[in-house]
Amino acid sequence: MPNERLRGSIAGAGLTVERLAEIVGVDPKTAERWVSKDRIPRRAHRSATATILKADELYLWPGLLDDAREKSASLAEFVALYPHRGAVPLHLWSSLMTSAQDCIDILIYAGLFFTDGTPDIAKTLIRKGESGVRVRLILGDPDSEAVALRGAEEGVFGGVAARVRLSLTHLQDAMGCPGVEIRLQSATLYNSVFRFDETLLVNTHAYGAPASQSPVIHVQRVPGGRLFDHYLSSFDKVWSRSVPAMEKGTV
């Protein structure tokens, strides 16, 4: 049975199967089988195709829900669900920051609990950068409509922008230091993401409620799993459209 969802998404993106194959880097006959025979591509090709078509993998290939191996790997990724951010053990944040050896990626609007609650956070990030850890932080642009809207939805109005500016003050000394990049973005923030090497904490968001009241998902990267890469892909998309905080002159 052909995959009509994939066929329609390709057409909707203004592409042909042959052009999609060229972009993804597979043989056109392989891509044609994805459509005509509903073959499920390899994981890397699925991810690339979903990104190009701006669609979710599960929408394009519902059969993934029946892939026992992928379900098993994704279940293995799941470590814990905390009912709200305050339920996350305090030592977990600091231990993950301290133990990170390769990368620290953080996507927040203000994240004041983190910047204000981590002693000497700028110095810590500077040391991490100097030791070879890649540090990427994305905060909300305090002058953006998205941040203003979040403040209005939470009933604090300018409070979110004020918290962003305070976080930027805590981070100021680390701006421009080797290995440390701090950027601002103005997109809607669906989740706050805290990545430390192969560990991920995702603070979900709910309309009208501050992030502190929403659940946190603890994920550990596992080969073949989907959750870690799914949220990391979201981080990378926001990173690609963000701008260096120093260029904005907000601090």
Q: What is the pLDDT of residues 219-239, one digit of tens each?
A: 999 877 888 999 999 999 999
E-assigned strand segments in 83-169:
103-107, 134-140
Q: What is the pLDDT of residue 67?
A: 59
Q: What is the pLDDT of residue 85?
A: 95
Q: What is the pLDDT of residue 128?
A: 97
Residue 32's contacts (CB-CB under 8 Å, 6 or more residues apart) are: 17, 21
Q: What is the pLDDT of residue 70?
A: 59
> 3-state DSSP: the chain helix, strand, coil percent, rounded to 5?
55, 15, 30
Domains in the chain with CATH codes: 4-66 (1.10.260.40), 75-248 (3.30.870.10)
Which of residues 62 and 213 earns the better pLDDT score?
213
Q: Is 146:187 a contact under the CB 8 Å cutoff? A: yes
For 32-65, the pLDDT digits (tens) are 999 999 999 998 899 999 999 988 888 898 877 6
pTM confidence score? 0.72
